[in-house]
């Protein structure tokens, strides 16, 4: 049996979402918008409420079709493999999370306490999934044309920087390949950590001797190394392009 709504639930669901709708440039049924913003952790804590994963599933297809169609029409001479790589780059978790951060989506998310305590409002995976849920919600409430227009307005511009988002999907490999292409040695990583066990922070420095050095931080060694690698790749790409 669903639990009686508590004060936290009431406060969070009564947040003014007008500014978010203004940024999106659409009108949405309030219940559908709330569903799109509801993470499964929040739904579980409140007695098994519906959450946004079905909308995310729908929005993934809306996003993919809009970007695929644009790529196909705008690049009549590019082979399928190049089109696929460009699409994968801009519909990636990294790219969608950047869009979410640009429209300040984080404060509107409905998250469980565990996700709140571990920085869920800044987690790329949660932000990206919620963007897809919003695309799905817009499709259901406003139709395909409106959903496509929203995707192209928010995600379409990233196609101009698809190489960076492609690198962000696997920055360590991308840096390795870029270093080799420019005659450099293999990247070398050094990682340090600080803070208590429950809030550990990692800092990584990556060096390609004679070419580039960069740092990155994260909540895990892997995350810090990936951040450092992407920074180094971006720097190396800018210097040699």
17-161 against 171-239: fold identical: no
Predicted local confidence at residue 142, as pLDDT: 97
Sign of the CA dihedral running 38, 44, 50, 53: positive
Q: Looking at the annotation, which residues are catalytic?
A: 60, 132
On whether the CB atoms of residues 223 and 191 are closer than 8 A, the answer is no
Q: Is the pLDDT of residue 138 over 90?
A: yes
- Fill in the DSSP letter of residue 116: H
Longest dimension (CA), the chain: 64
Q: Distance between CA 100 and CA 167 in Å, rounded?
A: 19
> What integer is the mean pLDDT of 15-38?
95
Q: Distance between CA 160 and CA 156 in Å, rounded?
A: 8
Residues in the chain: 241
Flag whether 132 is marked binding.
yes
Pick the CATH number of 171-239 from 1.10.730.10, 1.10.3720.10, 3.30.160.20, 3.40.50.300: 3.30.160.20
Q: Is the pLDDT of residue 71 over 80?
A: yes
> What integer is the mean pLDDT of 130-153?
97
Flag whether 129 is marked binding.
yes
Q: What are the residue ranges spanned by the domains of the chain?
A: 17-161, 171-239
Q: State pTM to two decimals.
A: 0.77
Q: Which has more confidence, 158 or 167?
A: 158
Question: Shortest CA distance to 229 belongs to which of 207, 210, 209?
Answer: 207
> Which helix (DSSP H) or strand (DSSP E) does residue 2 occupy?
none
Q: Is the pLDDT of residue 2 over 70?
A: no
> What integer is the mean pLDDT of 147-163?
91
**pLDDT tens digits along 180-236:** 988 889 999 999 999 888 778 899 999 998 889 999 888 788 888 988 898 888 888
Beta-bridge mates of residue 216: 204
Pick the CATH number of 17-161 from 3.20.20.100, 3.30.465.10, 1.10.1520.10, 2.70.98.60: 1.10.1520.10
**pLDDT tens digits along 214-225:** 998 887 888 889
Task: Map residue 216 onto helix, strand or coil.
Answer: strand
């Amino acid at each position: 049996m669903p639990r009686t709504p508590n004060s936290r639930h009431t406060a969070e669901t009564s947040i003014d979402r007008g500014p978010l709708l203004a940024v999106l440039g659409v009108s949405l049924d309030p219940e559908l918008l709330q569903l799109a913003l509801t993470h499964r952790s929040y739904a579980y804590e409140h007695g098994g409420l519906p959450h946004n994963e079905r909308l995310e599933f729908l929005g993934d297809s809306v996003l993919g079709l809009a970007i695929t169609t644009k790529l196909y029409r705008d690049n009549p001479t590019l082979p399928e493999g190049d089109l696929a790589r460009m699409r994968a780059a801009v519909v990636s978790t990294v790219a969608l999370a950047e869009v979410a951060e640009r429209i300040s989506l984080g404060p509107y998310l409905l998250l469980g306490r565990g996700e709140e305590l571990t920085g869920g409002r800044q987690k790329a995976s949660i932000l990206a999934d919620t963007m897809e849920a919003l695309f799905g919600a817009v499709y259901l409430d406003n139709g395909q044309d409106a959903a496509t227009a929203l995707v192209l307005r928010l995600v379409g511009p990233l196609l101009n920087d698809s190489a960076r988002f492609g690198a962000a999907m696997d920055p360590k490999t991308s840096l390795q390949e870029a270093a080799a292409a420019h005659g450099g040695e293999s990247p070398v990583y050094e990682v340090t950590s600080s803070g208590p066990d429950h809030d550990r922070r990692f800092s990584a420095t990556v060096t390609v001797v004679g070419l580039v050095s960069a740092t990155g931080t994260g909540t895990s060694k892997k995350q810090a190394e990936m951040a450092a690698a992407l920074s180094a790749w971006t720097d190396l790409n800018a210097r040699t392009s």
